[in-house]
Amino acid sequence: MAKHTVITMPGDGIGNQVLPEALRVLNAVGFEATYIHADIGWECWRNEGNALPQRTIELLAKYKLGLFGAITSKPNKAAQEELKPELRGKGYVYYSPIVTMRQKFNLDICMRPCIGFAGNPLNYIRKKTGGGFDEPQIDTTVFRQNTEGMYAGIEWTNPPDNVRAALASHPKFKAFAEVPGPDLAVSVRLITRSAARRIVTAAFEYAKKRGFKGVTICEKPNVVRETSGMMEETAKEVAKNYPGIALWSTNIDAQLMWLNKNPEDYNVIVASNLFGDILSDAFAGLVGGLGFAASGNLGEEVAVFEPTHGSAPKYADLNPPIVNPIAMILSAAMMLDHIGEGMKANRIRKAIAAVVQEGKVRSYDMIRLSGGPKAISQGAASTVQMTDAILEKLGTQQVSKAVAEA
């Protein structure tokens, strides 16, 4: 029997196109696993009134390792309208299955590497003072707290009386005391010391493993004194356990300016949920964007790996599929790192690097096409062809049927 069991959750739209490509690559590096398919996403919502069915939760709880594609989510009104008729008006409420999964399994560490591949035409470049351009090697990994902060979901429009009374006990609330309830929206930014410690520790452990000189905590403690303050204070405490690694502190606003000036100076950045979300998208944009952005959601027991992109419905029905499978394949490589198969993960990354460097096979995003059915005739490689190119660099001859027929 295979040593590992992986729960595969392709989800919706292009999740169904990219996840099978990642499995082809995992097979090609000799990763032996049993894959168990699990349902998640919009179809589950429409047919069952639950985008993350209990059977999927049970599989993840049992096997603890997941590969996830992407899901579609829509605003409440559309969600209700698209429920199958016999479920409508029965009180079903749509919850994002990703958020639910993170909460259920306390997947509190989100790791998002943004590491540039040489030769990627989408890489960040910078004007040199003496003329010409400079393409610094960006190797940044963002550690984003995944379960608390602004995304904890503790919020109200028209807060109930007891919440309003609690707010009124704060001297700063005086300025808002006369605002009518329906005109007042409140989101709570909640940080706990133990979760702060876990995310900062994950960042330091990673810096240690990679041999980096420092970790940057990116918050705003001069203004958001309590929550950002606790993040920074915890980072200082944790840093004491890592004597060879410096702790640097930046503010989120200044950090976004600096990432346009000297992104190569930041190797490991740790932040609370909202700031980490913003930072990781911003850094991902410097190394190729959504087609390259992988992530891991890591809990104490369960870990789920996924590209950060969504289901891209406008491309979901194209035949052949055109989206870039690299983000999904890199996510699978992160899974290998996580379970101690780092050598196989490195082989995958090297193969991707070779394809990108060579430049013969480029998905539509890499050559800045607008996508759509014309992309292939305009010179873009299909999803399957991109994977084939990676497999070829791995030295396997699993050229797909689709290409053989082309």
Site residues for ligand NAI per CB under 6 A:
70-73, 98, 290-291, 306, 309-314, 323-324, 327, 365, 371
CA 69 to chain CA centroid, Å, is 11
Q: Between 193 and 314, name the residue whose CB sits nearer to ligand NAI.
A: 314
Spatial separation of the C-alpha atoms in residues 150 and 235, rounded to whole Å: 19
Q: Between 277 and 365, name the residue whose CB sits nearer to Mg ion.
A: 277
Report the DSSP pairing between strands 294-298 and 109-115: antiparallel
Q: Between 263 and 307, name the residue whose CB sits nearer to ligand NAI.
A: 307
Task: Please report which helix (H) or strand (E) contains residue 197, including its range.
Answer: helix 193-210
Minimal distance in Å, beta carbon 308 to Mg ion?
6
- The residue with tokens 């168990």 is 36
Q: Between 328 and 391, name the residue whose CB sits nearer to ligand NAI.
A: 328
Of these partners, ligand NAI, Mg ion, none, which one is at the site of residue 323 (CB under 5 to 8 Å by kind)? ligand NAI
Rounded alpha-carbon distances, angstroms, from residue 112 to 188, 243, 316, 377: 25, 25, 24, 33
Q: Is 388 a residue that touches Mg ion (CB under 5 A)?
A: no
Burial of 100 (0-12, 13-18, 19+ CB in 10 A): middle
Minimal distance in Å, beta carbon 167 to ligand NAI?
31
Q: Is 337 a residue that touches Mg ion (CB under 5 A)?
A: no
Q: Is 277 a residue that touches Mg ion (CB under 5 A)?
A: yes
Minimal distance in Å, beta carbon 135 to ligand NAI?
21
Minimal distance in Å, beta carbon 281 to ligand NAI?
10
Spatial separation of the C-alpha atoms in residues 235 and 141, rounded to whole Å: 16
Whether the CA torsion 97, 99, 103, 107 is positive or negative: it is positive
- Residues 278-297 contacting Mg ion, CB under 5 A: 281
Please count the CA atoms within 13 angstroms of the CA of 34 that sit on its side-chain side.
9
Q: Between 233 and 281, name the residue whose CB sits nearer to Mg ion.
A: 281
Q: Between 184 and 316, name the residue whose CB sits nearer to ligand NAI.
A: 316
Cβ neighbours around 252 below 10 Å, total: 19
Of these partners, Mg ion, ligand NAI, none, which one is at the site of residue 311 (CB under 5 to 8 Å by kind)? ligand NAI
Site residues (vs Mg ion, CB under 5 A): 277, 281
